[in-house]
Chain A
């Protein structure tokens, strides 16, 4: 188990370093102490200078000035408005209170008090208004009571008038009721008239009469035929019968023949009669048609009259309903006014009296800003502590040995984070503890969720700090970078200025500001009992950001390791070559002893051409002694080739170029 050893080592290094110990132990305590003092203690109002200008110093203006003085504000009275506002620009006055003319308690007109202030000190105005509010409330109450008294008197008169009108409304209601009743009766009577008559189809009768004539003709024919047949039959019978009987039969036959003649006469007369009947019926049908048409007109007129009566009745019923509503309203208003007249004007002016009983100390404003401040501390500590730890580790002499042990680099990265996390968790607990006991903020109402959010915040800011640590070259650079990034996060948040007062771009950016997101979550958790499941989107985005940051850390760590060994190799090589140059045997150039290239440069500059040529002539076997020395002693072979020339100028030029290049290279490397 090597992780406890690594964490213990990290903690020891942090605590044994003065800078980081301050960051770890005293920093957060100092911050929370300052914050507590700033928010819980009484403000030094004696330092705040309030300018006052009024066209007329009414008793109310003087009362306000007295109140300000009583609250330890320094009050300067100015003769005019410009002078007062000019003093704001010079910083001698923090705010100007500009009263209107005739600032007094009055029933008509408004009293507008203007506060002139430098916008950066807008909070001062609220503080002063807060301090003056009691005084102004008393004055306002007096005005309100007067106004309310007058109003009540007027209401009483109105109530009496309404009461008297209620009887008239009731009488109207009764009359309307009677009218509606009569209308109803008339309508019923009209509805009772039966205008329906049974319809006689005279044409059908005529048809039937015609039919009857036909039948009669047919009957006559058949009767005639029957009588003829009977006569024939009887004649046959007579021929065969005895005389007595024959007479009888003859009589019968005679009778039958008479009847047949009569029948024929009747039958002949029947169609004429039918025709006459038919004509009469036609006349009757025409008359009936006219009667029917007139009845139809009568029915229509009756229906129209009935509809008109119905509408009138409905209208009267609705009017009566409205009258009933009016009556109810009048009664309710009458009763309400009766009740209102029983209350005092004071109750009307201030019907509700409030008393605020805070769960915290009354003067503590820390509760609402507490989550922001706690997150602020976590942000700065996370950034600074993790970056400090990384820089300490990577710039320590032990970095090389850590790279050569049988422990993976990822392990070191992870344990650096764990160390930071533990330290910050302890810090958060200390701050929470202090706040709980001294500030009495409601911190533990939703403790589990708050701890989760704090853990996410620590992780995120620590990862960010670790990246800074790997990118920064020195502890100072890491600290400045951490502070800068923290300040950017702080600026794009609600803590310094309201986000709503910033432009759209900044507001958009703030949505991606982890400080804003986390402090809002913490506030919602601490003050409003937020549940994690309500904000899965935000938590998901934060988790994704943490994952991305972790991958980035691994990337920059590997990059750093590669750079470390590259730089180490360069240093080793440079060191070795420098040592070689240091140990080089000096070159005797004429009478000058040359130890390095700068010596050589100086010697060449100082030499005359004759001296230079003489010096070159000293070379063994015609070799250029300068080039030989540079190659063998200084190990600069490419330079040696360039210096292998009999020309002093070329040699100086080559040397100048080389030294310039080398100086630039060294400067770059350093």
Chain B
């Protein structure tokens, strides 16, 4: 079965006064994937998410939603034409949590579930599942205003999920949260995705998206620079990897000169470690191990740090958009089939990479 786009953005532009926030953006959200949207502040991520579900009207272009029947036949329509149908298809958790502070956690979930015309049984079932999934079971009778920041964020996501939507859209779900809470949120997102829900999210925490997302869309200055799997993006934009070696007694001065001319872009000592940057890590590791052995160094630790999304991001922002252009002609990182394959590959990997 081929890829199935749920939402499709076609040549969308959006301005607020003189500020051109988005320019000619085209993007597909595939069924079952976790699509991360990254970009600097003000790059247009939130605007893109708001356009995706019809909160904002594009100045140009169109966003379509495709509804699939049981047989898998899709029927696409402009999201602005059938807002109630589209509203049922997604859950949206904005940067600011949106729920009633003077209702309890359970009351909030039950209320918003009612707004989607769910049956009583479905409401109870969904709410119980979400309370467990979000780790809010113990706090279900606590007033929402009394929850901690992380719990509020989880409640907001739960509210967005309460009608079991096909697509969950999260706008900066981990903004202002500490690392522990961020991990909790990512874990929740992962679980939601494993239930079959398509997730679209934006975040500043690029390395965390690296481990979570099937695909990453990079937005810069209102333009979609690239969309691809994290690994491919890293390969495209930064092939350098970092080898960290620790040995005893650590006389790295003996081996550093011997590494010159071996396609190494940088060598430096960081504490007890020697760091080596190269585009051929496998070959260099072998050579480093040989050199250490010859120098009488006892190997204590060796690590290979692959480039991360931070590096990709920095690379893109540092060098402008004059980066590999393959697959960017239609505004997408890749063609639909390749994207789906990448997404599938990512899922098969379980989201982890290291």
Contact = CB atoms under 8 A, between A and B. Distances in A.
Interface of A: 2, 5-6, 9, 12-13, 16-17, 396-402, 404-408, 565, 568-570, 572-573, 576-577, 579-580, 582-583, 635, 638
A579 B41 contact: yes
A577 B44 CA distance: 10
Given A2-B115, A405-B115, A573-B16, A9 B100 contact: yes
Contacts of B88: 406
B117 A2 contact: yes
B40 A580 contact: yes
Given A398-B99, A398-B100, A407 B115 contact: yes
A5 B111 contact: yes
A405 B50 contact: no
Interface in B102-117: 102-103, 107-108, 110-112, 114-117
B100 A406 contact: no
B299 interface: no
Contact of A573 (B21, B55, B99): B21
B223 to A, nearest CB: 13
B313 interface: no
Contact of B42 (A16, A402, A635): A635
B81 interface: no
8 contacts: A16-B102, A401-B92, A404-B55, A405-B87, A407-B115, A573-B42, A573-B47, A577-B42
Which 7 A-B pairs have CB atoms at the shortest separation, nearest pair first?
A: A580-B42, A579-B41, A405-B115, A5-B114, A576-B42, A401-B98, A2-B114
Nearest to B87: A406
B42 A568 contact: no
B97 interface: yes
Contacts of A397: 96-101
A568 B160 CA distance: 19
Contact of A5 (B16, B84, B94, B110): B110
Given A402-B115, A572-B50, 14 more contacts: A5-B115, A397-B97, A397-B100, A398-B108, A401-B160, A404-B53, A404-B55, A404-B87, A405-B116, A406-B85, A406-B116, A573-B19, A573-B47, A576-B21
Interface residues of B, number: 42
A422 B100 CA distance: 22
Nearest to B45: A576
Interface in B41-85: 41-44, 46-47, 50, 53, 55-56, 84-85
Given A9-B103, A405-B115, A406-B87, A399 B42 contact: no
B18 interface: yes
B159 interface: yes
Contacts of A405: 87, 112, 115-116
Interface string B287-318: 00000000000000000000000000000000
For chain A, what secondary structure do more than half of its interface residues adopt (helix, strand, loop), or is it mixed? Answer: helix
Find the residue from A17, A405, A569, A582 having the highest chain B CB count within 10 A.
A405
B115 A408 contact: no
A570 B47 CA distance: 10
Contacts of B85: 406
Contacts of A638: 18
Contacts of B18: 638
Nearest to A393: B100
A241 B74 CA distance: 173
B103 A406 contact: no
Contacts of A572: 46-47, 50
Nearest to A571: B96
Contacts of B43: 576
B166 to A, nearest CB: 13
A217 B116 CA distance: 147
Given A9-B100, A9-B111, A572-B46, A406 B40 contact: no
B217 to A, nearest CB: 17
Contacts of A13: 100, 102-103
Contacts of B117: 2, 406-407
Given A12-B103, A17-B102, A406 B42 contact: no
Nearest to A17: B102
Contact of A569 (B56, B107, B108, B116): B56
B107 A9 contact: yes
Contacts of B103: 9, 12-13
A569 B42 contact: no
B40 A583 contact: yes
Contacts of B160: 401
Given A398-B100, A406-B88, A580-B42, A569 B112 contact: no
Contacts of B50: 569, 572
